[in-house]
Amino acid sequence: MRGGLDDALDKLARRDELRRRAAAGEAPGTPPAVTELVEAIAGVIARFPHLGVTVGVEGAGDPVLLHFGFADGTVQVTADRTVVERTAAEPARAHADIEIDLDDPEPPPRGSHDDQDRFGPTYDEPPTAERPFVTPPAPAYPPPPAAYAPPVEPAPQPKPFHAERAAEETEQAARRLAALLRDNPSLLDD
């Protein structure tokens, strides 16, 4: 069983031993954060001996690479302190300046999944097998002059609706209208 009393006692014993070594001067200059990190990773390696881990430690003393492995029934930790020398020998990396203009308008928010289900995709996406003809929405431009036609004016006298079975036909018309609106809710936008 993992995490039992014996494991907790072993962990406390290892921690006490590390503190005793640090107090006696056996590990001079090792910050407590690095010691705790080594202990935590060594515990993981002990549980999973097939793992090999390399960790770079910065911000607590000199930069160091810690190599963890499992050999001869124990966790082996090797500290590589030549990181400082290698980084000093490498040429400086390219520096990039990024300018952000706060006056630029923010791009419109992307539609939620619910909106996309109802109105189609609201951002560029590649076609898929499920949606082979997906195209991003085009911005609304006025029609070109050749395609412009003036709006059709209504007839001067509307024809009244006469039906012998007005109630039944009205109900059927209402059902058709409801079905149209369910299929295409954008009809209400105009």
* pLDDT value at residue 166: 65
Of the candidates 79, 77, 10, the residue with the CA atom closest to the CA atom of residue 42: 77
* Local confidence band at 58 (pLDDT 50, 70, 90 cut-offs): confident
Q: In percent, how much of the chain has pLDDT > 90?
A: 0
- How is 127-151 classified by DSSP, letter by letter? --SSSTT--PPPP--PPPGGG--PP
Decide if 111 contacts 123 (C-beta within 8 A).
yes
Residue 71: pLDDT band by 50, 70, 90 thresholds? confident
pLDDT in tens, 80-117: 877 767 666 666 666 777 777 778 877 766 656 666 66
pLDDT band (50, 70, 90) for residue 170: confident
Per-residue pLDDT band for 131 (boundaries 50, 70, 90) equals low
What are the residues facing 68 on neighbouring strands?
Answer: 53, 77
Domain borders along the chain are 5-89
Q: What is the mean pLDDT of residues 163-190?
A: 78
Q: pLDDT over 70 for what percent of the chain?
A: 60
Is 80 exceeded by the pLDDT of residue 43? yes
Mean pLDDT of the chain: 74
Q: Residue 18 pLDDT more than 60? A: yes
Confidence band (pLDDT; 50, 70, 90) for 171? confident
Rounded-to-integer distance, Cα 164 and Cα 6, Å? 91
Token representation of residue 14: 């290892």
